[in-house]
Chains A and B, each alone.
Chain A
Amino acid sequence: MKLWAGIGVIVGLELRQRVRGVAWYVLLGVFVVLIGIVTVLVGLATASFGGEDSGGWLYSLIIYFVLMLGTLIAPALSGNAINGEREAGTLATMQVTLVSATQIVLGKFLAAWIATLAFLVASSPFLVVAAALGGLSVGTVLVSLLVLAVELGVIAAIGVGLSAILGRPLFSIVVSYLAVAALSLGTLIAFGLGGVAIQSEVRATTVQSIYEDGSDSYTCGPPTVSTYSAPRFDLFWPILSANPYVVLADATPPQFSEYGSPTDLFTGVASLVRAVQVPPDLSPDFDYCSSATFEPGPTQEETYGKTVPSWFVGLLLHLVLAAGALLWGIARTKTPARRLAVGSRVA
């Protein structure tokens, strides 16, 4: 059978079963209500700041919220795709037809992805509201939607792959959630712990002004050297590039105000992540005496411009993970089976 014809039949089978179930609609309903609440609250908050063009903030917040809920829902929709059928005794009845293991696994993956994307579609009215508030660029909309869709697909692929690799549906769903947690939270924890663990000694040279008694005149004192240690987050920032929220933020074209500060959450997050690329100054001079002029530090926009993007590294890593999970899953679904996992059943 032609590859896509077989995949199409499996996708049709999956979606038919999905639309007949109640759980799906309940989840969608809860999701829409949650997004609605967030939209209203953020809308009120930005209105009270009197900010114009607050659409960027609202839009990016909704997209982040869809990413968060999507990564929480996708494992539940995909994590028992293959082993659930095996437990129900229906996988073998598909395997004896002319549909191949590749078609079964890819069909299940596409169906899970489509089911997850429905949550993005359900949030579209609120995205339109955000766009109506103004200050939203076309580039931000296109890139963020694309990256969000790809990230949801990655989670769906990992879930379907694990459901083919692991025997028990509950186990594979839990491992899918752990994978999501490892990417979303694990990267943050690893980054934080790594930065704190590796510290460098900073030798700061300070020159103080010494005032003479009863007059305004002063002389510059001798330079004093003090040492302390600083965490080296700059050595661990690549870990953050594997975080899906960072990928989404870093990939989206930055939007800065005329003062060089971010005008949406993506740019805000991306600026923070970019800032940790800059290594700490290990021998700073603090002269509070001779140079009285205060030099402002670089704006976030300037820091952003001087540092390197990392989103494609993270995205590539995610795509490799997804493809690996699917390929391994296909190998485990191939029949006639030679090796069986302990405790697994064929039919």
Chain B
Amino acid sequence: MRLTTTDGIVVEGVRRSFGSVHAVTDISFEARPGTVTALVGPNGSGKTTLLLMLATLLAPDEGSIRIAGHDPVVDPLAVRAVMGWMPDTLGSWASLTVRTTLQLTARMYGRDVAQAAARADELIDLVELWELADRPTRVLSRGQKQKLSLARALVHDPSVLLLDEPASGLDPAARIELRILVRRLAAEGRTILVSSHVLAELDELADTAIYVERGASISAERVARATSSSRPWRIRALEPTSIVPALIAAGIAAEAIGADGSGILVSVDTEQRAAALLGALVSAGVEVTSFSPATGDLEHTFLDLQARPAEPGDGIRL
């Protein structure tokens, strides 16, 4: 796939209200082809409303959206032809089988009967629903419905994928499969936007992240500040009691040291300071077995943004 400026998702100053509820006040971002972009924000921050606008279901009050170069308001059919959407609600036609559901969805994308049947078989293979292919969808568990929903979003081989909470309800093995599948789809040149609450999951999945708060995307500077703020690191050693004295000897204040079930936690503000601290511990003779951030990058940034409200000049309109 040739990458041009018209590929991917471009959102500028999008706003949408429902009566007096301002679901999305000002969101701008770009998602590039070949990458997985995470959409991170607390409940009610406007993630699903944004995805509904990207999926051509809701018209924005203001602002512009381009999906693979097409405007979803002006030319929704062009967007629908290249966009796959996996909703957060797991609706399915209860009395129809998995296979029939996928075949009918393919027909709704204009495929003929033979193409639809072949595509349904491919997708059943892809999401590993062989055993349930000819059972009505009402017998599916939540995780199986997630798989069906993902398969449905992929029916027409879209170049832009919008995944709303794709991992919820999946068991650990299925999450790993989902991650591998999404990475593969991105490697094929697709633009993928994923919203999720499972931040540890997104850390391994996403290349970049957009943070939204109260309907607005958070400025890059504020995200950078949050990313670089101090965060807890977890330290483990063969002899756990040797860690705390060595930390104090290395100049760490006692109140910056804590512990949880699996190790000693210490608050460090930069990666450089962390590397220096590790060196100090090793040279003090502590047999370190593990030295790592206690929170994932996304989780850390997310929590820091939550803890610190927007400051004036951060470009957030409230």
CA distance A272 to B192 in the complex (A): 70
Distance in angstroms from A18 CB to nearest chain B CB is 9
Mark contacts of A77-111 with chain B using CB atoms, 8 A cut-off: 1 yes-contact digit, 0 otherwise: 00000000100111111111111100000000000
Also in contact, A99 and B100, with CB within 8 A (given A88-B91, A93-B152, A347-B57): no
Q: How large is the interface on B (under 10, 10 to 19, 20 to 34, 35 or more residues)?
A: 35 or more
Asked if B64 CB lies within 8 Å of chain A CBs, one says no
B59 surroundings in chain A (CB, below 8 A): 336-338
Asked if B56 CB lies within 8 Å of chain A CBs, one says yes
Interchain CB contact under 8 A, A336 and B93: no
Mark contacts of B76-87 with chain A using CB atoms, 8 A cut-off: 1 yes-contact digit, 0 otherwise: 110011010101
CA distance A337 to B56 in the complex (A): 8
CA distance A91 to B85 in the complex (A): 13
Interchain CB contact under 8 A, B83 and A20: no
A347 surroundings in chain B (CB, below 8 A): 52, 57, 87-89, 91
Interchain CB contact under 8 A, B58 and A96: no
Interface residue from B18, B95, B156 paired with A17 (Cβ < 8 Å): B95
Q: Which partner residue on chain B sits nearest A345 by CB separation? A: B89
B100 surroundings in chain A (CB, below 8 A): 16
Asked if B53 CB lies within 8 Å of chain A CBs, one says yes
A146 surroundings in chain B (CB, below 8 A): none
Interchain CB contact under 8 A, A94 and B87: no
Also in contact, A336 and B73, with CB within 8 A (given A17-B95, A89-B91, A346-B57): yes
CA distance A178 to B91 in the complex (A): 30
Asked if A5 CB lies within 8 Å of chain B CBs, one says yes
CA distance A92 to B89 in the complex (A): 10
A17 surroundings in chain B (CB, below 8 A): 93, 95-96
Q: Name which of A6-14, A149-157, A205-213 contacts chain B.
A: A6-14
Interchain CB contact under 8 A, A99 and B108: yes
Asked if A21 CB lies within 8 Å of chain B CBs, one says yes
Interface residue from B58, B81, B104, B156 paired with A9 (Cβ < 8 Å): B104
Interchain CB contact under 8 A, A20 and B104: no
Interface residue from B95, B109, B136 paired with A97 (Cβ < 8 Å): B109
Question: By DSSP majority rule, is chain B's interface helix, strand, loop, or mixed?
Answer: loop
Interface of chain A residues 288 through 347 with chain B (CB within 8 A): 335-338, 340, 342, 346-347
Asked if A1 CB lies within 8 Å of chain B CBs, one says yes
Distance in angstroms from B294 CB to nearest chain A CB is 37
Interchain CB contact under 8 A, A90 and B93: yes
The count of residues in chain A whose C-beta lies closer than 8 Å to any C-beta of chain B is: 32
Interchain CB contact under 8 A, A98 and B87: no
Distance in angstroms from A343 CB to nearest chain B CB is 10
Q: Which partner residue on chain A sits nearest B76 by CB separation? A: A336
Interchain CB contact under 8 A, A98 and B91: no
B85 surroundings in chain A (CB, below 8 A): 93, 96
Also in contact, A9 and B57, with CB within 8 A (given A92-B87, A96-B85): no
Distance in angstroms from B100 CB to nearest chain A CB is 7
Interface residue from A5, A13, A336 paired with B104 (Cβ < 8 Å): A13
Most A Cβ at <10 Å: residue of B91, B92, B95: B91
Q: Which partner residue on chain B sits nearest A337 by CB separation? A: B58
Asked if B249 CB lies within 8 Å of chain A CBs, one says no
Asked if B90 CB lies within 8 Å of chain A CBs, one says yes
Interface of chain B residues 222 through 263 with chain A (CB within 8 A): none
CA distance A98 to B107 in the complex (A): 9
Q: Which partner residue on chain A sits nearest B60 by CB separation? A: A336
Q: Which partner residue on chain B sits nearest A91 by CB separation? A: B91
Interchain CB contact under 8 A, B105 and A89: no
Also in contact, A20 and B136, with CB within 8 A (given A12-B104, A98-B80): yes
CA distance A327 to B104 in the complex (A): 25
Distance in angstroms from B44 CB to nearest chain A CB is 15
Most A Cβ at <10 Å: residue of B72, B76, B77, B156: B76
Interchain CB contact under 8 A, A9 and B87: no
Interface residue from B53, B56, B91, B110 paired with A90 (Cβ < 8 Å): B91
Also in contact, A5 and B57, with CB within 8 A (given A12-B104, A13-B93, A335-B76): no
Interface residue from A20, A93, A95 paired with B105 (Cβ < 8 Å): A93
Also in contact, A89 and B57, with CB within 8 A (given A12-B104, A98-B80, A98-B81): no
Interchain CB contact under 8 A, B52 and A9: no
Q: Which partner residue on chain B sits nearest A9 by CB separation? A: B107
A9 surroundings in chain B (CB, below 8 A): 104, 107-108
CA distance A53 to B282 in the complex (A): 111
Interface residue from A13, A85, A92, A98 paired with B77 (Cβ < 8 Å): A98
Interchain CB contact under 8 A, A93 and B87: yes
Asked if B55 CB lies within 8 Å of chain A CBs, one says yes
Q: Which partner residue on chain A sits nearest B88 by CB separation? A: A347
Distance in angstroms from A9 CB to nearest chain B CB is 4
A12 surroundings in chain B (CB, below 8 A): 104, 107
Mark contacts of A140-169 with chain B using CB atoms, 8 A cut-off: 1 yes-contact digit, 0 otherwise: 000000000000000000000000000000
Interface residue from A20, A21, A100, A346 paired with B52 (Cβ < 8 Å): A346
Q: Which partner residue on chain A sits nearest B136 by CB separation? A: A20
A93 surroundings in chain B (CB, below 8 A): 85, 87, 91, 105, 152
Chosen A-B contacts, 23 in total, with CB atoms closer than 8 Å, are A13-B93, A16-B96, A20-B96, A89-B87, A89-B89, A91-B91, A92-B57, A92-B91, A95-B56, A96-B56, A96-B83, A98-B81, A98-B108, A335-B56, A335-B58, A335-B76, A336-B58, A338-B59, A342-B19, A346-B57, A346-B58, A347-B57, A347-B87
Interface residues of A (CB under 8 A from B): 1, 5-6, 9, 12-13, 16-17, 20-21, 85, 88-100, 335-338, 340, 342, 346-347
Interface residues of B (CB under 8 A from A): 18-19, 52-53, 55-59, 72-73, 76-77, 80-81, 83, 85, 87-96, 100, 104-105, 107-110, 136, 152, 156
Further 12 A-B residue pairs, CB within 8 A, beyond A17-B96, A336-B57, A337-B57:
A6-B108, A12-B104, A13-B96, A21-B95, A85-B91, A88-B93, A90-B91, A92-B55, A92-B91, A97-B108, A97-B156, A336-B72
